């Protein structure tokens, strides 16, 4: 067998009776060639299958490419929500007294409705606010939280918002310092000794050694020098040790400056002629000196608080106590020492309590380090004046009346505070899970009232009335709707 065919002997070949060339009588005719070349070859079914598969693969490729470009790689195939979240209050590096409530004010905007605003302290959720429905027409949300710290230290505040599709956005963190009011006792922090060190009677190597601290020992720091190079510890009856020997477990900004009272030890007198006294040169600013300048002053909290911004124009950071004085705001001059940290070319904000609050225009005359206790690179830019405008009184919306009539419910609201500019005001009445609402675009001057008339009844029984401005609930009251 060759190629699957059987061999046949030549003597077994047979031919038909017809002449061999009879089947090719037309071989030489022109029509023979025309018929051969004009006829189209028959296409096999697999050819059409191939064409169909190629079209399908091409369509899938185009679809995937379009999805990648149009969807920007979003796994859900939807455009991600665009958020903007800002913490207006407190400001960065603000000092907040332990145990006292303070306000955290937040603004958030998004391209879709926000369903949750969560407050975080040091990365942990501590409170939340659920915006009311429907969302504000401009999708701008405002929320305030009241919070306090139970212990001193550094804290990081952030806010996380969640939209109706589950998208989230975390704000930038705002770092603040919680401090204990000094009162009649010093503020103290804890530390650990990193190497065996001698305690001294004063802040310097020239003072007498009066004890020793061992590596790993826990100490309580109750004071520091102005340059923070020496620390006063409670051990041994209040002794001084170098700053480099202590690993602090809290911020040194919480510790007050202590002036040394001991006199450094003097060498034993020697015989011979006494040298002639010569005047000591005045201290000059070292290469690591800061450069302070007041750059702003504004009123807050209804004029009861003054915030002063201090800039460090030097390339050297500062960490220590800084005295700031302000004249022209209230009776006398406000003077206070602040334990602050100001980075190189950075800023810090200090606050004064103003009593009585400022209600008229004033000019604040601010001086930083008024006694020149800290040697600076430039001592000529420590004073500046700033015009103060009393803060605008905020609107205060209250519900002054609610009347049930046969045609509906009439609710009267009043503005007891500052002017309310044109805003979206909604009065909502709830009975269980049922509710009705009426919305108006209006502006209210101080002491002005307006009535929302004929609001439909959501049901009968105990009801709650809520008044919101721009999506933020401003007032609420109870109401009984008779059958």
Mean of per-residue pLDDT scores for the chain: 79
Please report the pLDDT score of residue 174 as a whole number.
92
Please report the pLDDT score of residue 9 as a whole number.
47
Per residue, the 3-state secondary structure of the chain, as one string, reads CECCECCCCHHHCCCCCCCHHHHHCCCCCHHHHHHHHHCCCCCCHHHHHHHHHHHHHHHHHHHHHHHHHHCCCCCCCCCCCCEEEEEEECCCCCEEECCCCEEEEEEEEECCCEEEEEEEECCEEEEEECCCCCCCCCCEEEEEEEECCCCCEEEEEEEEEEECCCCEEECCCEEEEEECCCCCCCCCEEEEECCCEEEECCCCCCCCEEEEECCCCEEEEEEECCCCCEEEECHHHHEEEEHHHEEECCCHHHCCECCCCCCCCCCCCCCCCCCCCCCCCCCCCCCCCCCEEEEEEEEEHHHCEEEEEEEECCCCCEEEEEEEEEECCCCCCEEEEEEEEECCCCEEEEEEECCCCCCCCEEEEEEECCCCCCCCCCCCCCEEEEEECCCCCCCCEEEEEEEEECCEEEEEEEECCCCEEEEEEEEEEEECCEEEEEEEEEEECCCCEEEEEEECCCCCEEEEEEEEECCEEEEEEEEEECC
Please report the pLDDT score of residue 277 as a whole number.
41
- Residue pLDDT, tens place only, 64-95: 766 555 444 443 444 456 888 999 888 887 87
Query: pLDDT band at residue 162, thresholds of 50, 70 and 90?
Result: very high
pTM beyond cutoff 0.75: no
Please report the pLDDT score of residue 30 as a whole number.
53
Residue 176: pLDDT over 50: yes
Residue 15: pLDDT over 80: no
Burial of 163 (0-12, 13-18, 19+ CB in 10 A): buried
Query: pLDDT band at residue 305, thresholds of 50, 70 and 90?
Result: confident
Please report the pLDDT score of residue 287 as a whole number.
67
Mean pLDDT confidence for 394-413 = 92
Residue 259: pLDDT over 60: yes
Query: pLDDT band at residue 360, thresholds of 50, 70 and 90?
Result: confident
- Residue pLDDT, tens place only, 188-219: 788 888 877 888 888 888 888 888 888 889 99
Please report the pLDDT score of residue 40 as a whole number.
52
212 or 180: whose pLDDT is higher? 212
- Residue pLDDT, tens place only, 89-148: 888 878 788 888 888 989 888 888 899 999 999 999 999 999 888 888 777 888 889 999
Query: pLDDT band at residue 283, thresholds of 50, 70 and 90?
Result: very low
Please report the pLDDT score of residue 96 as a whole number.
85
Please report the pLDDT score of residue 439 as a whole number.
95
111 within 8 A of 82, measured Cβ to Cβ? yes
d(CA 236, CA 221): 12
Query: pLDDT band at residue 29, thresholds of 50, 70 and 90?
Result: low
260 or 58: whose pLDDT is higher? 58
Mean pLDDT confidence for 298-303 = 80
Which of the listed ranges 176-185, 331-340, 431-440, 473-482 does the model predict with the highest average pLDDT?
Answer: 431-440
Please report the pLDDT score of residue 41 as a whole number.
55
Please report the pLDDT score of residue 280 as a whole number.
35
Mean pLDDT confidence for 293-298 = 89
Please report the pLDDT score of residue 72 as a whole number.
44
Which of the listed ranges 52-66, 241-255, 416-430 does the model predict with the highest average pLDDT?
Answer: 416-430
Please report the pLDDT score of residue 181 as a whole number.
60
Query: pLDDT band at residue 279, thresholds of 50, 70 and 90?
Result: very low
Residue 10: pLDDT over 50: no
Mean pLDDT confidence for 6-23 = 48
Query: pLDDT band at residue 250, thresholds of 50, 70 and 90?
Result: confident
Mean pLDDT confidence for 173-202 = 77
Please report the pLDDT score of residue 133 as a whole number.
80
């Amino acid at each position: 067998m060759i190629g699957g065919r059987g061999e046949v002997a030549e003597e077994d070949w047979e031919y038909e009776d017809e002449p061999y060339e009879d089947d090719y009588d037309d071989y030489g005719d022109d029509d023979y060639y025309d018929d051969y070349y004009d006829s189209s070859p028959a296409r096999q079914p697999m050819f059409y299958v191939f064409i169909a598969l190629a079209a399908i693969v091409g369509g899938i490729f185009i679809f995937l490419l379009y999805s990648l470009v149009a969807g920007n790689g979003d796994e859900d195939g939807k455009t991600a929500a665009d958020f903007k979240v800002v913490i207006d209050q407190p400001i960065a590096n603000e000092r907040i007294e332990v145990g006292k409530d303070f306000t955290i004010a937040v603004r958030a905007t998004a391209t879709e409705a926000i369903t949750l605003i969560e407050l975080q302290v040091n990365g942990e959720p501590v409170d939340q606010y659920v915006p009311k429905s429907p969302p504000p027409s401009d999708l701008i949300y405002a929320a305030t939280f009241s919070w306090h710290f139970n212990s001193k230290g550094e804290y990081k505040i952030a806010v996380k918002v969640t939209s109706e599709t589950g998208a989230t956005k975390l704000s930038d963190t705002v770092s603040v310092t919680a401090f204990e009011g000094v009162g009649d006792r010093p503020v103290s922090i804890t530390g650990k000794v990193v190497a065996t060190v001698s305690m001294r009677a004063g802040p310097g190597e020239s003072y007498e050694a009066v004890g020793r601290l061992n590596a790993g020992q826990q100490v309580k720091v109750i004071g520091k020098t102005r340059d923070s190079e020496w620390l006063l510890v409670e051990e041994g009856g209040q002794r001084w040790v170098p700053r480099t020997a202590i690993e602090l477990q809290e911020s040194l900004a919480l510790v007050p400056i202590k002036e040394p009272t001991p006199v450094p030890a003097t060498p034993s007198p020697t015989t011979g002629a006494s040298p002639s006294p010569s005047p000591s040169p005045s201290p000059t600013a070292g290469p690591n000196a800061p450069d302070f300048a007041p750059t702003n002053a504004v009123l807050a909290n209804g004029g009861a608080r003054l915030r002063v911004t201090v800039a460090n124009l030097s390339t050297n950071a500062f960490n220590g106590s800084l005295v700031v004085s302000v004249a022209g705001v209230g009776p006398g001059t406000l003077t206070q020492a602040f334990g602050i940290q100001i980075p190189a070319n950075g800023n810090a904000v200090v606050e004064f309590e103003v009593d009585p609050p400022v209600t008229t225009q004033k000019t604040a005359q601010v001086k930083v380090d008024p006694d020149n206790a800290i040697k600076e690179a430039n001592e000529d830019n420590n004073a500046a004046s700033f015009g103060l405008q009393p803060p605008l009184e905020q609107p205060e919306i209250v519900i002054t009346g609610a009347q049930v009539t046969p045609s509906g419910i009439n609710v009267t609201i009043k503005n007891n505070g500052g002017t309310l500019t044109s805003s979206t005001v909604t009065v909502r009445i709830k009975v269980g899970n049922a509710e009705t609402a009426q919305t108006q675009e209006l502006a209210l001057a101080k002491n002005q009232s307006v009535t929302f008339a004929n609001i439909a009844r959501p049901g009968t029984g105990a009801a709650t009335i809520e008044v919101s401005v721009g999506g933020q609930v401003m007032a609420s009251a109870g109401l009984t709707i008779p059958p």
